[in-house]
Amino acid sequence: MRTLRVTTLLALATCAGAQNKGILLEDLTWQEAEKVLTPDAIVVIPIGAESKEHGPHLKLKNDFLIAEYLKREVLKSAMVVVAPTVNYHFYPAFIEYPGSTTLRIETARDLLVDICRSLARYGPRRFYALNTGVSTIRALRLSADVLAEDGVLFRYTDILKVAESAEKQVKQEEGGTHADEIETSMMLYIAPDTVDMTKAVKDYHPSPKGGLTRNPNGEGAYSASGIYGDATLATRKKGEIMVHAMVEGILKEIDALRLEK
């Protein structure tokens, strides 16, 4: 039976016109979805903000672009069903910067719970959030706790850990986690036309309190630019190393989820 399901997944992926192992759920009819949303399926849910500040040199849709890129790479290599990308989530650290949006943590928690519960009705018990945020982890941890009570396995990317060894290899900035050397380097590799390096700056003022703030006397880390780190150190080569390591790490986590009981 499992062989038949694998064959069905591959056949649908081929019919979709791509040399992929995985399949985009959105490209299926409901009858086709019924054939692949089985108890042994892994459903990947990409998460990437499409309206969140990333300094003066990167677009508001930066995380969404990263999520879409990583999604395509996962589709090539993993036998998974990929759900539509979630473009809103929990991003409270950036709300002082126009265009930035955030959900309440309870809303972000329940958003993923509801998506997984909906799809779990048809069979799947394993879900992987392809996560591109940091603050999102707080809400995703809560989602995992709720879904565990339903007997559903829910795992997610920790963006700071999944390629940690590669980051140590390339990182030169003294610190930073947002629109910084690492994230800007990734975008120079993934979507260079969306990066304006003439506006990249170093803006790093660490603080133990809160998120980023435009107010020098405000709560949190002061950042006039919205950058937290040194974007001027970014290079395409660093981005290539980081992106490849990230894809490899995500694929390993999906493989581990497949074996979980």
Which tens digit of pLDDT belongs to each residue from 64-122?
Answer: 999 999 999 999 999 999 999 999 999 999 999 999 999 999 999 999 999 999 999 99
Question: Does this model's pTM top 0.75?
Answer: yes
Q: Name the band, by pLDDT with cuts 50, 70 and 90, for residue 183.
A: very high
Q: How far apart are CA 68 and CA 249, in angstroms?
A: 16
- Full set of structural domains in the chain with CATH: 2-259 (3.40.50.10310)
